[in-house]
Structures are given as structure tokens and as C-alpha cells.
Amino acid sequence: MILLDSQQILAAIGRSLETHVLPSLDDELAQTQVHAALTALAEVSHRLEHGDPYVEANTRLETGLRSLATETQGESPELAAQIETALTAAAGIDDPRERNRSLGEALTGLLGRDDPGVARVRQLLEQEASRIAGEDSTWMCTAAIESLQ
């Protein structure tokens, strides 16, 4: 296996599970577990090829927030400043998931403000959450979810 790269190893494991393990299983729960494992292997392979999805999500969110801070500067300079503060604080965080958490916490703190621009912050967050949910749905194992019902 040392001659193979990570994606080739994951693909070989997936093929083995699909070809040899899955057909030999009579137990429905065991089959569901193998389907879930195959889905997880596909997601890991995708991340190896395309990187952590939070990098792209953070870029979209930060771009939207910068635009929002610029647009709201005249009508809501305090909100614009708080958005800029959140962006500046997050910029120093290398880990994409920690960066996203930091931005999320800072923005959640803004949502309680009585400011007309807050609705736009909420809308931006909701749009990004919807986009992430849609992208995540690719990696949901329907059989595993159905087995919980």
C-alpha cells in the first residue's frame, strides 16, 4: 500500500467493502453500517482532493461580511465596526474550523442588537447555513438516517 496515494487507498477500501463485504452481509444493520462507511470514505476522499470545505465557506462568509460592513458604514457605523472587528480577529486564525467558529460566535453576538443592519447579518448567516446544509447533504447516508426511525 505504500506505493498508493491516499485516495487510491480509500478507493481500494471502498471497492473491497462494496465487492466483498456488502454482498456477504445478511444483517440489515450491518449493511447500513457498511453503506455509512462507504459514504464516509467518499467524503474523506473528496476532502483530500478539494480541501476542507470550511475554507471555501469562510471565504464566502468573509467576502459577504466585508461588503456588508462597507454598505452599512453610513447608516450603522457601530455595526460595521463590529463586523470589521470580527473579521480582523478571525483573520489571525489559521484553522478553518476555528476561524468559522470565531466568526460565528462574533456574529451571533451581533444578532441581539437593535440595529437595521442586523437583519442583513442574519440573512447572510442563513444563506451560508443553507448552502452548507445543501453541500453536506451529499455526505448523508440515507440508509443510516432511515435506520434511526
Per-residue pLDDT at 21 exceeds 70: yes
Per-residue pLDDT at 1 exceeds 70: no
Q: Give the Cα separation of 86 and 102 in Å (integer).
A: 8
Nearest one of 45, 36, 34 to 5, comparing CA atoms: 45
Q: Give the Cα separation of 76 and 115 in Å (integer).
A: 7
Per-residue pLDDT at 13 exceeds 90: yes
User: How confident is the model at residue 132, as a pLDDT?
Assistant: 92
Nearest one of 98, 99, 82, 81 to 90, comparing CA atoms: 99
Domain spans of the chain, in order of start: 6-51, 53-136
Work out the pLDDT band at 2, boundaries 50, 70, 90: confident
* Percent of the chain surpassing pLDDT 90: 81
pTM to 2 decimals? 0.80
- The total number of residues shown for the chain amounts to 149
